[in-house]
Structure 1
Amino acid sequence: MTDVRVPILMYHAVAAEPNDATRELSVSPEAFAEQMELIAAKGLTPLTTAALAARWRAGRPLPARPVLITFDDGYEGVHRHALPVLSRLGFPATLFVSTGWIRGAHDTGGALDTMLDWPQVRRLADADVEIGGHSHSHPQLDQLDDRALHAELARCRDLVADELGALPVSFAYPYGYSSRRVRAAVRENGFAQALAVGNSLARRAQGPYALRRVTVRRSTTTAAFADLLDGHALTRAFAKDRTLTKGYALIRRTRRAGRRAADALI
Structure 2
Amino acid sequence: MYHAIGHRTAEATHGLSVSPDAFAEQLELLGERGFTPLTTAQLGDAWRSGGGRPLPRRPVLITFDDGYEGVHRHALPVLAKHGFASTLFVSTGWLRGPYDEGGALDTMLDWDQVRELAAAGMEIGGHTHTHPQLDQLDDDRLRHETIRCRDIVGDELGALPVSFAYPYGYSSRRVRRTVRAAGFAQSLAVGNALALPRQGPYALQRVTVRRSTGIEEFERLIEGRSIARNFAKDRALTKGYAVVRRARRVGSLIRRAGG
Q: Do the two structures share a fold, i.e. TM-score over 0.5?
A: yes
Letter in 2 for 1:223: E
Aligned to 2:152: 159
CA distance in 1, matches of 2:226, 2:159: 35
Length, aligned pairs only: 257
Aligned to 1:198: 191
Aligned to 2:42: 51
Aligned to 1:179: 172
Which structure's residues are more often strand, by fraction?
A: 1
Q: Are the aligned partners of 1:200 and 1:242 in contact in 2 as well (CA < 8 Å)?
A: no
Aligned to 2:258: 265
Aligned to 1:37: 28
CA distance in 2, matches of 1:26, 1:119: 23
Letter in 1 for 2:45: A
- Give the one of 6, 16, 22 matched to 2:13: 22
Letter in 2 for 1:43: G
Q: Are the aligned partners of 1:199 and 1:245 in contact in 2 as well (CA < 8 Å)?
A: no
Aligned to 2:2: 11
Aligned to 1:73: 66
Deviation readout 1:173-230 (Å, 9 max, x if unpaired): 0111001000000000010000001111110000000000111100111111100111
Letter in 1 for 2:2: Y
The answer to whether residue 202 in structure 2 is matched with residue 209 in structure 1 is yes
Report sequence identity in percent.
68
Aligned to 1:228: 221
Q: Are the aligned partners of 2:2 and 2:63 in contact in 1 as well (CA < 8 Å)?
A: yes
CA distance in 2, matches of 1:236, 1:128: 35
Q: Are the aligned partners of 2:193 and 2:228 in contact in 1 as well (CA < 8 Å)?
A: no
Shift of 1:260: 2.1
Unpaired runs of at least 5, structure 2: none
Shift of 1:264: 3.2
RMSD: 1.0
Deviation readout 1:66-91 (Å, 9 max, x if unpaired): 11000000000000000000000000
- Structure 1 stretches (4+) deviating beyond 4 angstroms? none
CA distance in 1, matches of 2:36, 2:73: 23
Letter in 2 for 1:31: A
Report the TM-score, using the length of structure 2 for normalisation.
0.97
1:95-134 aligned at under 5 Å gives the runs 95-134=88-127
CA distance in 2, matches of 1:127, 1:164: 13
Unpaired runs of at least 5, structure 1: 1-9
Shift of 1:167: 0.3
Q: Are the aligned partners of 2:2 and 2:65 in contact in 1 as well (CA < 8 Å)?
A: yes
CA distance in 2, matches of 1:213, 1:247: 19
The answer to whether residue 89 in structure 2 is matched with residue 89 in structure 1 is no
Deviation readout 1:28-67 (Å, 9 max, x if unpaired): 0000000000100111110100000110011123211111
SS of corresponding position for 1:67: strand
Aligned to 1:253: 246
Letter in 1 for 2:63: T
Aligned to 1:145: 138
